[in-house]
């Protein structure tokens, strides 16, 4: 029998996820070794806060403040990058790859923006870059799309992939409170950061759906082409109207294959209340995948937090450990498709995308208003799926008109909104949200 | 550049799933090759009905009625076994392994009963036996448990893993109809077989939960120790009462780690209505996994049908293709844990398992009845979570009493039911169902 050699891991960053990774690897060492066939050993930790890192690791592991020493350390086989951001993290990842280390990262921003460069370098050096933790935390969604559904032509992916915004939307609906109040509460509870921009404006979700889009359709990562809208402008009124019409509003990352290209977008979306994904509440994540052979599959779990994210990081460590001795040509490709077989499908400009719509208008309570508005929609090939018109409140001469449209072209809707917004009978701006039936 | 050699597949059985596999492999050949890095080619099909097989494959593939010729064919790298059952399928699988072929199978019955022998033989011969299609059809649940959650100490798995029974239970609830009527409808629609015993009596679900139990806890397959109850005796009355108390009844396969061993059981189960898994309707499947690092994750999709099952079969083909050149010691182990690291945890006898309970009793409408019954429960450490007592119908002197218990020991409940059933104030048998909060 060959002596069994431990896999030696260098950990860059021992904050929330790094600490969770250290703890889970230590606590479940026996179980993980029984699976991997080899012990996994963190041999060095790099963190700016050396004192804290020493405390967390109880003096059992070498600690340094020099991350660059780790990525060049000949006693490290795998580098786990948990620093985040595009700056030094990128340098470290590239340096690790150059030095023949496999890299595991939870850094969706880095991969969504610089993935092409990083994967090409890894390919050249014959090492793996694994990133299960970059999307939907502990849910093994990358593995599912990349390997579990490999028989399929995937048609679309739609996901609740940002826990902060799903928590805020759940609370807005439950308590009927406006966005700003709920955001404050979320910050107090630790569900939102002090600067919540990346989460609430949809940037984080866009990083993740960019990665899922590449895995689903075999295209290079193209974060710069994603269309991104967050929830900060969402009005509690629309959550209430949506509910009355049988819908819930979720911030979805959506990517869909069309004949002429790929849709890649993040925005608040009306989803029929009876869909499982509409019932994913609080900070939970869920990803729905539609594919030609398997149909719909859904994956649900915790999308963030120390140990759920650590679960994904360590699953990658086990995978990389198993595959590290395999011929690089027979490993699972980084983006699910062989690097020389990526497709040249364009990301469609948002005006070319297809979607259902929810329109809320403040209209004068007088004859002919509905005829005028529906004519403008019909002229632009926008057909109406449902209408809700309230009686005006006592003493008012205006009322809310809600229109749900069937799937139509985005640019047609924008044009119609422009014309409708200028009608004398329409008071104030037209509110528009997108709607997906997800069937 | 090396010439790329196609992976040569021999298909045993071209019925529903075999036909689906052939069709999906043909239709998505380009996409699958882009993922696998090598073409996958069905080189020979064996089926008793040679004429039909020839028709389905349009004369493009060699067809034979001799399955044994396929498993010894030097031009076959992977054998897909879709014959089913324990008889000839077992012989063929073992023969294929002996001849150095990798085997992919959807045959849960075979693996749940003879898995230990088959996996040992595969280990000895250095080949893979993959079986994603054996559990929950197209949902990549085996991959998720075996690889996606490898960081975790798994605590329990609970699944709706039989579509026929979930369809029947959904219809019984929706329409308030008795089991026998709905079964007939399910047979007419093709959701239930002419002889539905394996499905409705829970045997199929038990095969599947046996496999999931081994993957979750690293124990040998032990179908013979599973406790199995089906839905054929389920009364529509109990579905109605459960609903009133905030629960739905699902046929769950459950396996749970306890201090003294593993629970392995299939039975109708009350589940809180607000859980996502309680809202899985019709023939859909879903598996909920509780693990220490990641928490709860859920996997949802189609559990049967030609193409969903084919999706799982082909995902295995791609995996095996990728790993076929890898060192056998570094491949993913058949049961998630290295074969020399399987645990010796016993499957607990049903009397030792722990569960909540739903009890329905027909009782005399007279003072002291409740006191007597609750005393019997308390004496056996069974504490009550909820009670529902109906007023007797006009002119009757009996009524239904429903009791929900907290988690308690199965044998204590059986003993209590025995004593309660003999009370003069209790009319007829005590109906008991199990209850799981799944939190």
Nearest by CB to residue A294, choosing from B34, B144, B311, is B311
Contacts of B24 in chain A (CB under 8 A): 151-152, 292-293
Judge: A147–B140 Cβ closer than 8 Å, yes or no.
Answer: yes
Predicted local distance difference test score (pLDDT) of residue A328: 82
Contacts of A318 in chain B (CB under 8 A): 147, 150-151
For residue A269, which of A432, A135, A81 has the smallest C-alpha distance? Answer: A432
d(CA A382, CA B207): 51
Contacts of A32 in chain B (CB under 8 A): 150-151
B394 is in an annotated binding site: no
Residues of chain B with Cβ-Cβ distance to A341 below 8 Å are: 33-34, 37
> Looking at chain A, which residue has its C-alpha nearest residue B314?
A151
Name the DSSP class of B346.
Answer: P
Q: Are B62 and B54 in contact (CB under 8 A)?
A: no
Which residues, listed in sequence order, are joined to residue A78 by a DSSP beta bridge? A9, A102
Give chain B's end-to-end CA distance (angstroms, integer).
Answer: 54
pLDDT of residue B329: 80
Numbered residues of the known binding site of A: 12-19, 108, 193
A30 chain-B contacts, CB cut-off 8 A: none
Q: Which is the catalytic residue, given B101, B143, B208, B250?
A: B208
* Phi and psi torsions of A23, nearest 5°: -65, -45
Task: Say whether pLDDT at A2 is over 60.
Answer: no
Structural domains of chain B, with CATH:
7-138+307-341 (3.40.50.720), 141-302 (3.30.360.10), 354-435 (3.30.70.260)
Mutation target vs B (from A9, A34, A137, A148; most B CBs, 10 A cutoff): A148
Note whether B35 contacts A150, CB cutoff 8 Å: yes
Q: Return the structure tokens found at B292.
A: 């220490």
Q: How far is B83 from chain A (nearest CA, A)?
A: 21
B208 catalytic, yes or no? yes
Mutation target for A interface from B19, B151, B155: give the one with most A CBs within 10 A: B151
Could you give the C-alpha distances from B153 to A29, A139, A320, B150, B216, in angstroms and in order? 10, 15, 20, 8, 8
The secondary structure of residue B90, as a DSSP letter, is H
| Residue B260, helix vs strand vs coil | coil
> Do B292 and A280 make contact, defined as CB atoms within 8 angstroms?
no
Q: Is the pLDDT of residue A224 over 50?
A: yes
The pLDDT score that the predictor gives to residue A391 is: 85
For residue A275, count CB atoms less than 10 angstroms from its CB and return exposed for 0-12, middle for 13-18, buried for 19 or more: buried
Q: Which of B37, B140, B331 is closest, CB to CB, to A148?
A: B140
Partner residue opposite B279 with nearest CB, options A279, A295, A327:
A279
Q: With 60 as the cut, is the pLDDT of residue A150 above it?
A: yes
Calculate how close chain B gets to A296, using CA atoms only, in Å. Answer: 6
CA distances from A148 to A85, A161, B208 (A): 30, 19, 18
Which pLDDT belongs to residue B3?
Answer: 55
- Asked if A310 lies within 8 A of B151 by C-beta distance, the reply is yes
Q: Do B319 and A139 touch (CB under 8 A)?
A: no
On chain B, the residues whose CB falls within 8 A of the CB of A307 are 292-295
Judged by CB atoms closer than 8 Å, whether chains meet at B300 and A302 is answered as no
Counting every residue written for chain B, the total comes to 439
Residues of A with Cβ-Cβ distance to B287 under 8 angstroms: none
Q: Over chain A, what HEC string results?
A: CCCCCCEEEEEECCCHHHHHHHHHHHHCHHHHHHHHCCCEEEEEEECCCHHHHHHHHCCCCEEECCHHHHHCCCCCCEEEECCCCCCHHHHHHHHHHHCCCEEEECCHHHHHHHHHHHHHHHHHHCCCEECHHHCCCCCCHHHHHHHHCCCCCEEEEEEECCHHHHHHHHHHHHHCCCHHHHHHHHHHHCCCCCCCHHHHCCHHHHHHHHHHHHHHHCCCCCHHHCEECCCCCCCHHHHHHHHHCCEEEEEEEEEEEECCEEEEEEEEEEEECCCHHHHCCCCEEEEEEEECCCEEEEEEEECCCHHHHHHHHHHHHHHHHHHCCCCHHHCCCCECECHHHCCCCCECCHHHCEEEEEEEEEEECCCCHHHHHHHHHHHCCCCEEEEEECCCCCCCCEEEEEEEEEEEEHHHHHHHHHHHHCCCCEEEEEEEEEECCCC
Could you list the pLDDT tens digit for every one of the 439 residues in chain B? 455 789 999 999 999 999 999 999 999 999 999 999 999 999 999 999 999 999 999 999 999 999 999 999 999 999 999 999 999 999 999 999 999 999 999 999 999 999 999 999 999 999 999 999 999 999 999 999 999 999 999 999 999 999 999 999 999 999 999 999 999 999 999 999 999 999 999 999 999 999 999 999 999 999 999 999 999 999 999 999 999 999 999 999 999 999 999 999 999 999 999 999 999 999 999 999 999 999 999 999 999 999 999 999 999 999 999 988 878 888 899 999 999 999 999 999 999 999 999 999 999 998 899 999 999 999 999 999 999 998 888 888 999 999 999 999 999 999 999 999 999 999 989 999 999 999 8
The angle, 0 to 180 degrees and rounded to 10, between the axes of the packed helices B163-175 and B236-244 is 70
Which H/E stretch holds residue B364? Answer: strand B354-364
Instruction: At B108, list the tokens.
Output: 């849960």
Comparing alpha-carbon positions, the chain B residue that sits nearest to A324 is B330
Phi, psi of A402 (to 5 degrees): -110, 130
Model confidence over A52-108: pLDDT tens digits?
A: 999 999 999 999 999 999 999 999 999 999 999 999 999 999 999 999 999 999 999
Tell me whether residues A151 and B331 touch, CB distance under 8 A. Answer: no
User: Among A208, A240, A302, A427, which one carries the catalytic annotation?
Assistant: A208
A326 to chain B: nearest residue by CA?
A: B326
| Chain B partners within 8 Å of A36 (Cβ) | 150
Rounded mean pLDDT, A383-397: 91
Chain B CA closest to residue A320: B330
The reply, when asked if residue B15 is annotated as ligand binding, is: yes
Question: Closest residue of B to A139, CA-based?
Answer: B297
Return the structure tokens found at B189. 């629609």
Query: In B198-308, which ranges are E strands?
Result: 227-228, 247-258, 261-272, 284-291, 295-302
Nearest to A308 among B28, B137, B295 (CB): B295
Answer whether A301 sits within 8 Å of B294, measured CB to CB: yes
CA distances from A427 to A363, A364, A394, A422, A423 (A): 6, 7, 18, 9, 8
Dist CA A325 CA B249 (whole Å): 48
**A183 φ/ψ angles, rounded to the nearest 5 degrees:** -60, -45
Q: Which residues of A are annotated as part of the binding site for NADPH?
A: 108
Q: Is B108 annotated as a binding residue?
A: yes
The minimal CB distance from B325 to the residues A33, A319, A327 is found for A327
CB B244 within 8 A of CB B386: no
Structure tokens given for A14? 């021992």
Residue A393 has pLDDT above 80, yes or no: yes
Residue A188's contacts (CB-CB under 8 Å, 6 or more residues apart) are: none
pLDDT at B28: 98
In angstroms, what separates the C-alpha of B90 from chain A's closest C-alpha? Answer: 26
d(CA A268, CA A360): 15
Q: What is the pLDDT of residue A1?
A: 44
Output the known binding site of A for L-homoserine. 193
**B183 contacts B168 by C-beta, under 8 angstroms:** yes
Choose among A137, A297, A337: nearest Cβ to B35: A337
Q: What is the mean pLDDT of chain A?
A: 96
Q: How far apart are CA A344 and CA B187, in angstroms?
A: 47
Between chains, do A302 and B291 touch, taking CB under 8 Å as contact? no
Nearest CB to A150: which of B32, B299, B326?
A: B32
């Amino acid at each position: 029998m060959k002596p069994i050699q431990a896999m030696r891991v260098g950990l860059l960053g021992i904050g929330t996820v790094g600490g969770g990774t250290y703890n889970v690897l230590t606590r479940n060492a026996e179980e993980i070794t029984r699976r991997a066939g080899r012990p996994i050993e963190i041999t060095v930790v790099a963190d700016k806060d050396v004192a804290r890192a020493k405390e967390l690791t109880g003096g059992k592991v070498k600690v340094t403040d020099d991350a660059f020493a780790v990525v060049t350390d000949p006693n490290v086989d795998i580098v786990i990058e948990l620093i985040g951001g595009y700056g030094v993290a990128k340098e470290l990842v590239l340096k690790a790859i150059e030095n023949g280390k496999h890299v595991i990262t939870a850094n969706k921003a880095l991969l969504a923006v610089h993935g092409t460069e990083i994967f090409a370098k890894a390919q050249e050096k014959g090492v793996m870059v694994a990133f299960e933790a970059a999307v939907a935390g502990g849910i093994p969604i990358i593995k599912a799309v990349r390997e579990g559904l490999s028989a399929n032509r995937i048609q679309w992916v739609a996901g609740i992939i940002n826990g902060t915004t799903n928590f805020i939307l759940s609370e807005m609906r439950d308590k009927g409170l406006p966005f700003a109040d709920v955001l404050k509460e979320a910050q107090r509870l630790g569900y939102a950061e002090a600067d919540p921009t990346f989460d609430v404006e949809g940037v984080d979700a866009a990083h993740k759906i960019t990665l899922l889009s590449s895995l689903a359709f075999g295209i290079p990562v193209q974060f710069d082409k994603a269309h991104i809208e967050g929830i900060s402008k969402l009005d509690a009124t629309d959550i209430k109207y949506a509910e009355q019409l049988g819908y819930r509003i979720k911030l979805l990352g959506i990517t869909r294959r069309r004949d002429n290209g790929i849709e890649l977008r993040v925005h608040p979306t009306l989803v029929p209340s009876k869909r499982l994904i509409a019932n994913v509440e609080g900070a939970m994540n869920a990803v729905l995948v539609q594919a030609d052979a398997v149909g719909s599959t859904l994956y649900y779990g915790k999308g963030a937090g120390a140990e759920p994210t650590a679960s994904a990081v360590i699953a990658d460590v086990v995978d990389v450990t198993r595959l590290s001795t395999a011929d690089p040509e027979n490993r699972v490709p980084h983006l699910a498709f062989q690097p020389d077989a990526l497709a040249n499908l364009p990301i469609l400009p948002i005006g070319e995308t297809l979607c259902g719509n929810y329109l809320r208008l403040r209209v004068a309570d007088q004859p002919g208003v509905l005829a005028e508005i529906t004519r403008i929609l019909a002229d632009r090939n926008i057909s109406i799926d449902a209408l809700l018109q309230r009686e005006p409140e006592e003493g008012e001469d205006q009322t809310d008109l809600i229109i749900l449209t069937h799937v139509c072209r985005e640019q047609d809707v924008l044009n119609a909104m422009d014309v409708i917004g200028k009608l004398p009978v329409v008071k104030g701006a037209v509110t528009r949200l997108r709607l997906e039936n997800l069937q």
